[in-house]
Amino acid sequence: MDLVVGSGSGLHLFRNDTKNENNWLKVKLIGTKHNASAIGARITVIQGRKRYIREVEAGKGTTSQNSLIQHFGLGNSKAPITVEVRFGKDSHITLKNVQPNQMLIVTEP
């Protein structure tokens, strides 16, 4: 992933040009009940014995913005994935047998 940092000393781009064969999953959430950007939602990606967790955040501190698309690096495993999304206390969804190397769009039920 690339990183853009802006501060009082200017704007800086840290570009990642690394070439590898690792697998990944991107997850974009669309909220319908809580908020359209699904801020506060928790995504759990399960692949074999590994669990990866991300929470959708708008930003931290002042003048910052986090990506609303959550990126999961999966290494060299191409095993199917289970994706659990908790939008709120009573709103969740589980997707099984998800294949890596794609952008998954999940809408709040």
Per-residue pLDDT reduced to its tens digit, 26-63: 999 999 987 899 999 999 999 999 999 999 998 776 66
Q: Is the pTM of this model over 0.75?
A: yes
Q: Are 56 and 40 in contact (CB under 8 A)?
A: yes
Residue 84: is its pLDDT beyond 80? Answer: yes
Q: How do the domains of the chain map onto residue ranges? A: 21-107
Q: Write down the CATH number for the domain with range 21-107.
A: 2.60.40
Strand order in the sheet with 50-55: 50-55, 42-47, 81-88, 91-98
Q: How far is 42 from 85, CA to CA, in rounded Å?
A: 6
**Whole-number pLDDT of residue 107:** 95
The pLDDT, as a whole number, for residue 89 is 86
Say what the pLDDT of residue 63 is.
66
